Amino acid sequence: MDQPRTPMVFKSPVIDQVGVVERAKRFTSRSIKSEAKMRGLEMVLSMIDLTTLEGMDTEGKVKQLCYKAQHLHDSIEGLPNVAAVCVYPNYVGLAKRSLAGSGIKVASVATAFPSGNSSLEIKLADVSMAVSEGADEIDMVISRGRFHRGDYNFVFDEIAAVKAACGEARLKTILETGELGTLDKVRLASDIAISAGADFIKTSTGKIQPAATMPVTLVMLEAIRDHFQKTGLMVGMKPAGGISKSKLALHYLIMVKETLGDDWLDPKWFRFGASSLANDVLMQIAKQQTGAYQAANYFAID
C-alpha cells in the first residue's frame, strides 16, 4: 500500500507591491514607431486566442468564430493567423473540423470553468472529453477556495492530475488573479502552478474584475523567469481580459521582452486572451499601411 507523501511546503518571495507597480508603469512610457510598430502589431495578432465562452454559445456562433479566425485579415495580405480559438469542451470537435488545415490551435476551458467548484472526478472527465475531441490546449481554473484556505498541496495535486489527463495537449492554468487579493498570493499561486507542471500560467477567466493588469502580469513573468533560471525550463504566459487596445498590447510585449527575453516573443510561449483586441490590431495595421484609419465595422465583429 502506498504511503501518504510528506506535504510540500511552498514558499515564494515577498513582493514589493510599490516597486512592482512602479516598474510596470515604466513599460507604458516606451514608444514604438514605424517598422518596429508594424512588426509588433503582427506579433500581437499571432498571439491572440479568439474566445467564445458564454452560456448562449451555439454551433453557429462557434462556426462563425472559426470563420473569423481564418478570414480575419482577408483585407490585408501577408498577416499571420491568430494563435487559437477557445471554446467549451462540447464544441471542441466542431471547432477542430472548422479549423482543419488552418494551423490555428483549438483550446478548451475545463475543470468546471469558470468557478472551479466541482469534484476532481468531474474535472478530469471535463478534460478527457475535450482532449478526446481533439483539443490542442486545455485552460483549467485552480480551486481558489482551497487556495485561500491555505491548502496548497491540494491545489498542486489537482493541477498535476489535470496535467496528466491532458496527454499531448498543453495546459494553461488560470489563477483568477482578481480573486487572489494580493501580489504575494499571485506569486505563490504562480509558483505552485509552475511546479505542478503547467505549460502556461494565465491571469484570468475574463469573468472576474479586475482581470489582467500589468503589475499582476509582471509578477507572473518574474515567477516564470525565476523558474527558468533555476531549471532551464520555459513556461508560457497568458494575460486574459481587459486588453482591448493595440497600444496596451505592445506595452505587454515590451514587458515580456525585458523580463524574459526574445525567446518568449512567440505564440508558443505568450498569448493574449482578448478577442476584441484583434480588430483594433487590424485597424492599427491598416493605419500603418495606408495612413488612414478604417471604420471599426470594416472588420468582422463576431
Q: Has 207 been annotated as catalytic? A: no
- Decide yes or no: CATH 1.10.10.10 for domain 23-288: no
pLDDT at 289 over 80: no
Candidates 68, 96, 163, 238; catalytic one: 238
Q: Which of 136, 139, 199, 280 is catalytic?
A: 139
Tens digit of each residue's pLDDT (9 = 90 or more) over 103-154: 999 999 999 999 999 999 999 999 999 999 999 999 999 999 999 999 999 9
pLDDT at 294 over 70: no
Task: Tell me the sheet residues that pair with 105.
Answer: 84
pLDDT at 35: 85
Distance separating alpha carbons of residues 18 and 217, to the nearest angstrom: 15
Is 63 a residue of the active site?
no
∠ CA 137-55-122, nearest 5°, is: 55
Q: Write the DSSP assignment of 222-288 as a string of letters.
A: HHHHHHHHHH----EEE-BSS--SHHHHHHHHHHHHHHT-GGGSSTTTB-BB-TTHHHHHHHHHHHH
Determine whether 238 is an active site residue.
yes
Reported confidence tier of residue 1, pLDDT bands at 50, 70, 90:
very low
Better pLDDT: 53 or 296 = 53
- The model's pLDDT over 215-250, given as tens digits with 9 standing for 90+, comes to 999 999 999 999 999 999 999 999 999 999 999 999
Side-chain half-sphere exposure of 148, counting CA atoms within 13 A: 11
Give the pLDDT confidence of 20-35 residue by residue, as tens digits: 999 999 999 888 877 8
Domain boundaries, the chain: 23-288
> Based on the number of CB atoms within 10 Å of its own CB, is 254 exposed (0-12), middle (13-18) or buried (19 or more)?
middle
Q: Grid coordinates in use for 245?
A: 487596445
Q: Tell me which of 68, 123, 185, 202 is the catalytic residue.
A: 202
Q: How far, in Å, CA of 64 to CA of 195, rounded?
A: 38
Of 14-23, 60-69, 272-281, the poorest mean pLDDT is in 272-281
Q: How confident is the model at residue 295 (pLDDT cuts 50, 70, 90)?
A: low
Average pLDDT, the chain: 93
Amino acid letter, residue 38: M
